[in-house]
């Protein structure tokens, strides 16, 4: 016997009470089934969307162009392009030369005319905000022109190098030569700085930035110290293979 709403009937009876009981339970079951199917479908669709998005992102990452290496030219007026139109300066010409050699690099001109090694050390932090892959370090010419104690020049360059090395930044050290009027003793002490530091810190060295250009009137501006456009072309031609090597390219 089944008791429902105080009505006692046999399970074989087909009265209204049995019909109401059967229909009620059938409706509840159908609603639960629809709810379960709905959430199952929702989960399935969500998984499909997630997998599709992940696949698309993976494909985009695979097809993305490789990131350009960042090269910061950290130096004085020789790097800054003093006295030249922008397009004739060292930075744009080096970028073009590297591109012709197969490396499309982002070359940043961080040269400041008149900078000494002390001034370079003072501005190093903000000059490195671009997080370069390579720093071309060219400083010291103004130290020699001003007669700065070579020991101080050496110390400043050491601090710059050590600071860069703590960030795992590659460095290409570019050397300078003291002008002859500073005397042999000063010249010998100053000129030895760059080779010594390159050996101490295991750095690639370009011995003299103005190699092949210094003292040639046809390759320098009227002041006899800063290269003209032709002089820049020669410097870029000579230093490009060294820059590529410093980047292990």
Q: Which residues are catalytic?
A: 77, 223, 226
| 226: helix, strand or coil | coil
- 180: tokens are 């002859």
Tell me how far apart the alpha carbons of residues 144 and 142 are, in angstroms, rounded to a whole number. Answer: 5
- 54: tokens are 């992940």
Q: How far is CA 3 from CA 9, 13, 19, 118, in A?
A: 7, 12, 14, 100
Using a 10 angstrom Cβ sphere, with 0-12 exposed, 13-18 middle and 19 or more buried, the burial of residue 238 is middle
Cβ atoms 67, 212 nearer than 8 A: no
Helices (H), the chain: 16-63, 77-80, 90-100, 117-122, 124-127, 141-145, 150-165, 184-191, 193-201, 229-246
């Amino acid at each position: 016997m089944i008791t429902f709403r105080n009505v006692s009937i046999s399970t074989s009876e087909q009265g209204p009470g049995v019909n109401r009981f059967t229909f009620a339970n059938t409706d509840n079951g159908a609603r639960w089934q629809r709810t379960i199917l709905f959430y199952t479908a929702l989960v399935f669709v969500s998984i499909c969307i997630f997998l599709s998005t992940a696949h698309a992102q993976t494909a985009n990452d695979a097809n993305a162009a490789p990131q350009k290496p960042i090269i910061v030219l950290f130096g004085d007026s020789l790097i800054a392009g003093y006295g030249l139109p922008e397009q004739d300066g060292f930075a744009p010409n080096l970028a073009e030369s590297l591109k012709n050699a197969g490396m499309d690099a982002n070359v940043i001109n961080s040269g400041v005319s008149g900078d000494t090694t002390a001034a370079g050390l003072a501005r190093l932090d903000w000059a490195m905000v671009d997080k370069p892959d390579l720093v071309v370090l060219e400083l010291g010419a103004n130290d020699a022109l001003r007669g700065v104690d070579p020991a101080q020049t050496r110390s400043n360059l050491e601090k710059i190098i050590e600071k860069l090395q703590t960030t795992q930044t590659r460095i290409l050290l570019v050397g300078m030569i003291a002008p002859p009027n500073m005397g042999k003793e000063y010249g010998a002490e100053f000129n030895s700085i760059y080779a010594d530091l390159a050996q101490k810190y295991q750095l690639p060295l370009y011995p003299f930035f103005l190699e092949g250009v210094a003292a040639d009137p046809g390759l320098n501006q009227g002041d006899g110290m800063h290269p003209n456009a032709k002089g820049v072309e020669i410097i870029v031609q000579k230093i490009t293979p060294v820059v590529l090597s410093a980047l292990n390219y």
